[in-house]
Structure 1
Amino acid sequence: MSWFAKTFSSTIGRKIVMSITGLFLCSFLVIHLIGNFQLFKDDGGAAFNVYSHFMGHNPVIRVLEFVLLAGFVFHIWDAVALTRRNKAARSVGYAMNRPQDNSNWSSRNMGLLGTVILVFLIIHLYNFFLPTKTGGLDKVMVDGMMIDNLYIRVAESFKIWWYVALYVISMIALAYHLVHGFQSAFQTLGLNHKKYTPAIKTLGYVFSVLVCLGFASMPLYFFLFK
């Protein structure tokens, strides 16, 4: 196993792990966004509560939660390791340092963007995910079954101005993070070609904007209109 450990602890190995886990997390964002669109249904939260109950009690989903957690952990761990390794390799700064000439803002600030997203993720899980696991939510009757009323927790949270602001700012940070990360993932995996790279870059921009705009629309909708 030594070759395996050496490969995935090397710089290129860590970049490959970051790329694979990043694309996996992108797929999670799409699924999560589609499910959360149930919040817009004018049914008192019934559809969203049924969706949340299914996601929290389906055995396949429960197993995938651990896979998702592993994806987050590996992605964050490799990001920190690569950042420290890059700083160590450039312990002495260049005499002429103009990174803005050959890189965009998001690529130069992935650490900052990632930190904002991580802080938001911790607060988000504490506010929504943890209560579903500890029984800290009120119950509601839906189709003859008593289930957690997560919709009420969402509605109440999205009436708090600072939480809405944090949510929107975090989605902006996530959009910038995805703009750079999406294209970089394909490039790291060797899918870099003058014919296809522009299309991948465009797809990355569209994906980043639409997904993050979709998430940001939810707290704004509740705060402004509900």
Structure 2
Amino acid sequence: MLVAIKVPIVPDKDFVKELAVWLQLKNHPNIVKLLGYDINPRPYKVMELMKGSLHGKTFDKDTATRIILDVLSGLKHAHEKGIIHRDIKPSNILLDANGRAKISDWGTAKFSDIITSTNNEAFTLIYAAPEQLDPQLGPIDEKTDVYQVCEVFYEILPGRPVFQGYVEVYSKKLNMQITLPSSIDPDLKDYDKIFLKCLSPKKEDRYSTEELISILSNKQYTRLTTKNTAYALFGPPLPPL
């Protein structure tokens, strides 16, 4: 069996902390499996081998929705165990040979009962939630992960990040200066409301993990049912002229 082995360049306490988190999350189909590890004399982790990450990839609505539902399922499992990932981004979401999405890299994760409202922790600026940039917006919790998931969702649909630039990102996130996906692709209009809620600087306005799972599951079911009904009535679509 082929596996992936991760050896830290400079072993530190973060390596042990990530192990402690990852060991709480074993055996979930949407979390990369930790197969083995050691701390002394040379720290390393052995993980299941994945096909690649979401970085630089785009997908049609149905595939993108399924992928995000996979990610939300993994996060729901983590949240139920009191764990917040805090660094969801395309490179931390991996796909297996069957296209199933799994969450990796739990190095910045923390148990929710010890998370504070300070923002001096490591995060990726372009995917950071507003409360990670400004602690006055509230503590980091499951809705921080929801915000980041929706940034990834947006990026794999129209194929561009929600927020671009570097210096401007802070202001754009806090003031919610976003281009609705329907402005890029009119076919994404039914996703506008989702992104308006998920990317709100106010956490109380965002969906919970379970709410977003329910909404996306219903959308996917409706689309697939409509497609199957149309196919049964009229047959496959005609090829373009």
TM-score normalised over the length of structure 1: 0.30
- Structure with the larger RCO, 1 or 2 (CA within 8 Å, 6+ apart): 1
TM-score normalised over the length of structure 2: 0.28
